[in-house]
């Protein structure tokens, strides 16, 4: 494998010194890019794009050609695992995900298989191997998965949800079944992420997009406990280098200390938390990733630069910060905004790394 030319992202996650703050954008490959839409049309539909290693590689690299990003993220989706478990995933045109066979009862959970990453999910590993080859060591490749709780919400609700009524009913009336599901997911995710690492992912991230809809005790019990189990089972060194793991819970600012105690290397933050406060609470243990509101990218270049400078000032001096949006980039941001954002992070962060 080629030598890594830009390792700022990996270094910052391990709180090692860098010359400027590295940056990438959650959902950096996607519908805000015309070339993504063209490749998706070529593939036919979203899952066919994920299953085609060459096209998945192409869309992974597209944002890197436009912007000076410090990391690439595998193009795939968090719902590949439930699909591989046999739930029948589809994405209608312009719609969210749908499962043909959602989880409705205990026996459905008991019968769920734990997918073999090099069998049912081999297309993901093939994409990782192809992307690593094509990146030629320019920047590191991030592998990812959804958290057990977040995957379970889609599996029980049958798709996206606003109220999470079905899964919360299961949580409060049949918690044993839900724990069994979360435990199986944690085992599946551990195998899946370890396979991504063996295939070439140099860091991994767990997206707990829906952890923030839980009550205080429920978050610890139904979400964080299972992410902790995954962190305990991950390969932490590969190819002579530490493989950092980032946990991102949207709406998770209440639980930063508990998240830091899982042994993860970094915590992903949304924009509801001030970086200075977060750093004071957990910065001696973990690195922080975030946390600009993605909607700032709708504003003028001056306003974007101002927001970047404020967030950099909040974090202050020293390493341990990976700049990012606090959630995925919106589909309709002006074409030039990501460039202004990325360049501003690099430009204005140098004074904090002397
Ligand atoms: O129409 C299209 O082209 C599909 C849109 C799309 C894209 C571009 C989906 C369907 N998934 C993706 C890619 C994707 N999903 C990536 C690629 C890597 C990147 O560039 O960052 C990643 C990391 C994800 C992760 C993902 N999928 C999450 C967690 C992160 C987050 O944004 O909170 C979630 C919740 C999903 C589910 C999902 N997949 C797709 C959609 C539209 C959704 C969200 C549905 C919902 O809101 O409930």
Q: Whose CA is nearest to atom 9 of ligand 1?
A: 77
- Does 129 qualify as catalytic in the annotation? no
How far apart are alpha carbons 7 and 140 in whole angstroms? 7
CB 57 within 8 A of CB 64: no
| pLDDT single digits (tens) 27-36 | 999 999 999 9
Q: Which helix (H) or strand (E) holds 167?
A: helix 165-173
- Does 77 qualify as catalytic in the annotation? yes
For a mutational test of ligand 1's pocket, the pick from 42, 66, 78, i.e. the residue with the most ligand atoms closer than 8 A to its C-beta, is: 78
Catalytic residue among 20, 36, 67, 154: 154
- Ligand 1 centre distance from Cα of residue 93 (Å): 14
| Strand ranges (E), the chain | 72-73, 89-91, 97-99, 141-146, 203-208, 237-238, 241-242, 245-249, 266-268, 287-292, 321-325
Q: Whose CA is nearest to atom 15 of ligand 1?
A: 77
For a mutational test of ligand 1's pocket, the pick from 75, 77, 167, i.e. the residue with the most ligand atoms closer than 8 A to its C-beta, is: 77
Q: What letter would DSSP give residue 63?
A: H
Ligand 1: list residues with CB < 6 Å: 26-31, 40, 46, 73, 75, 77-79, 91, 96-97, 144, 160, 207, 209, 328
Structure tokens at 235: 């390969």
How far apart are alpha carbons 297 and 142 in whole angstroms? 23
Catalytic residue among 7, 70, 77, 270: 77
| pLDDT single digits (tens) 170-223 | 999 999 999 999 999 999 999 999 999 999 999 999 999 999 999 999 999 999
| pLDDT single digits (tens) 108-136 | 999 999 999 999 999 999 999 999 999 99
> Is the pTM for the entire model greater than 0.95?
yes
- Ligand 1 centre distance from Cα of residue 38 (Å): 18
Mean pLDDT of 38-46: 95
247: confidence class by pLDDT, cuts 50, 70, 90: very high
Q: Which residues contact 78 (CB under 8 A, 6 or more apart)?
A: 144, 145, 146, 150, 151, 207, 209
Given a cut of 70, whether residue 1 has pLDDT beyond it is no
Q: What letter would DSSP give residue 221?
A: I
- Does 154 qualify as catalytic in the annotation? yes
Mean pLDDT of 224-229: 98
- Ligand 1 centre distance from Cα of residue 173 (Å): 30
Annotated binding site: 27-31, 77, 154, 209, 327
């Amino acid at each position: 494998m080629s030598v890594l030319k830009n390792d700022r992202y990996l270094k910052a996650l391990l709180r090692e010194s860098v010359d400027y703050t590295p940056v990438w954008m959650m959902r950096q490959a996607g519908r805000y890019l015309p070339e993504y839409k063209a490749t998706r049309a070529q593939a036919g539909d979203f899952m066919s794009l994920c299953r085609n290693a060459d096209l998945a590689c192409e869309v992974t690299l597209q944002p890197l050609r436009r912007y000076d990003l410090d990391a690439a993220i595998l193009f795939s989706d968090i719902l590949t695992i439930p699909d591989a478990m046999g739930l029948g995933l589809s994405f209608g045109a312009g719609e969210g995900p749908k499962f043909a066979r959602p989880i409705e009862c205990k026996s459905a959970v008991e019968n769920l298989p734990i997918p073999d990453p090099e069998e049912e999910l081999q297309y993901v590993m093939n994409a990782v191997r192809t992307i690593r080859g094509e990146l030629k060591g320019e920047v590191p490749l991030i592998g990812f998965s959804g958290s057990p709780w977040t995957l379970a919400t889609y599996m029980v609700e049958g798709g996206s949800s606003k109220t999470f009524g079905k899964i919360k009913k299961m949580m409060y009336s049949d918690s044993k079944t839900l724990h069994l599901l979360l435990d199986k997911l944690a085992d599946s995710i551990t195998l899946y992420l370890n396979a991504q690492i063996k295939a070439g992912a140099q860091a991994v991230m767990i997206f707990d997009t829906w952890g923030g809809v839980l009550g205080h005790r429920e978050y610890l019990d139904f979400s964080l406990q299972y992410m902790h189990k995954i962190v305990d089972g991950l390969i932490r060194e590969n190819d002579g280098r530490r493989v950092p793991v980032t946990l991102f819970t949207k709406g998770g600012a209440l639980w930063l200390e508990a998240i830091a105690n899982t042994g993860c290397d970094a915590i992903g933050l949304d924009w509801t938390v001030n970086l200075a406060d977060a750093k004071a609470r957990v910065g001696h243990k973990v690195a922080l990733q975030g946390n600009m509101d993605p909607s700032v990218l709708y504003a003028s270049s001056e306003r974007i630069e101002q927001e970047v400078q404020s967030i950099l000032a909040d974090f202050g001096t020293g390493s341990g910060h990976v700049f990012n949006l606090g959630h995925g980039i919106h589909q309709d941001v002006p074409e030039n905004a990501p460039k202004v954002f990325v360049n501003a992070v690099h430009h204005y962060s140098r004074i904090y790394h002397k």
